[in-house]
Amino acid sequence: MSAIAERQHGLITRAQLTDLGVGRGALRHRIGTGALHKVHHGVYAVGHRALRPQAKLLGLVLASGPDAALSHAAAAHLRRIRRSAAALVDVTRPSRGRAPAGVRLHCMPLPPDQVTIVDGIPVTTFERTLLDLAAVLRPDALRHALEEAEIQARPDWRVLGELVAAADGRRGVRALRAILDERSVGTRITKSHLERVFRAFLRRHGLPLPQTNTHVEGYEVDCVWRGARLIVELDSRLHSNHGKFERDRARDRALTIAGWRVVRVTWEHIHAGEEDLDRDLRFLTTR
């Protein structure tokens, strides 16, 4: 019993107790002596009443059934994709039935390969969590959630694409597919191609041309207007990874401390936000 409770933040289920040979009479005796404390129907704390936050979440999942997992906003919060202050905890399970108190139950298919363990709690995978969020978030909030997931370098974008393809017609899938399509364009753009496109953009709008691929304060930068103390870094996702993301931000901070303004420009900025980018660069290069 103690070995199971240690793995489950001090919790154990009625089914697990039965497997250990604990019958109804023995269960009542343990509850009466304080060896077990009822947390939810069929879920007990071993030897104590105080529950850590992880135990409270796990207790709700365990009370929802053996095939249940934390999902939607609750899974996104646990994975630090998106904060949630919802009063109810989202749990998904394949079968229908009553939800335990405190649970917002989602009854839908939940294949085993779409569930993993995080801090001892069954939770939907990164990819399934993003698919579920698409059904409950506005497109702008969904885009932000995907950006947070990408910063952590966690999702397998191929797997997410397969989930989206298989979920055709499900609520939110169209918005998620559109965001993934935009991202796909960005990941196919090489740095050299992005540099050519950016220079063409500058010429088209009559903006001053910068020095390119040169050094400032000991760092190699993509574009610099020295008189304006402005640096533009061209962000291509083709070779991006978490380590490079962190190094680039540390370099940006060092250049800012040295008195340079650092602006990052992407493929989407040049094409989808051309007017805004023109206005901002025109302001920055004349200051």
Q: What is the mean pLDDT of the chain?
A: 88
Q: Which of 181, 92, 166 is nearest to 129 (CA)?
A: 92
Q: Which of 5-14, 77-86, 193-202 has the lowest mean pLDDT?
A: 5-14
Domain at 191-285: CATH code: 3.40.960.10
Q: What is the DSSP string of 186-222?
A: HHT--HHHHHHHHHHHHHHTTPPPPEEEEEETTEEEE
Which pLDDT does position 262 carry in this prediction? 96
Asked if 148 and 159 count as a contact pair (C-beta separation under 8 A), the reply is no
pLDDT in tens, 106-164: 999 999 999 999 999 999 999 999 999 999 999 889 988 888 887 765 778 889 989 99
Helix (H) or strand (E) holding 38: strand 36-40
Structure-model confidence comparison of residues 121 and 248, the more confident one:
121
Which pLDDT does position 88 carry in this prediction? 95
Structure-model confidence comparison of residues 271 and 82, the more confident one:
82
**Which stretch, 31-45, 100-114, 240-254, 262-276, has highest mean pLDDT?**
100-114
Question: How do strand 230-235 and strand 115-118 relate by DSSP bridges?
Answer: unpaired
Cβ contacts of residue 140 below 8 Å, gap of 6+?
none
Indicate the pTM of the whole model. Answer: 0.65
pLDDT in tens, 172-192: 999 999 888 876 655 555 677
Q: Which of 146, 153, 161, 159 is nearest to 82 (CA)?
A: 146
Confidence of residue 238 (pLDDT cuts 50, 70, 90): very low
Tokens for 57?
């979440």
The structural domains of the chain, with segments of one domain joined by +, span 1-50, 52-185, 191-285
Cβ contacts of residue 64 below 8 Å, gap of 6+?
91, 93, 99, 100, 103, 105
H helices of the chain, where?
2-7, 14-19, 24-33, 53-63, 72-78, 126-134, 139-151, 157-166, 173-187, 191-204, 242-257, 267-271, 274-285
Cβ atoms < 10 Å from Cβ of 74: 26
CA distances (Å), origin 196, targets 42, 53, 234: 64, 52, 11
Q: Sheet of 230-235: strands edge to edge?
A: 211-216, 219-225, 230-235, 261-266
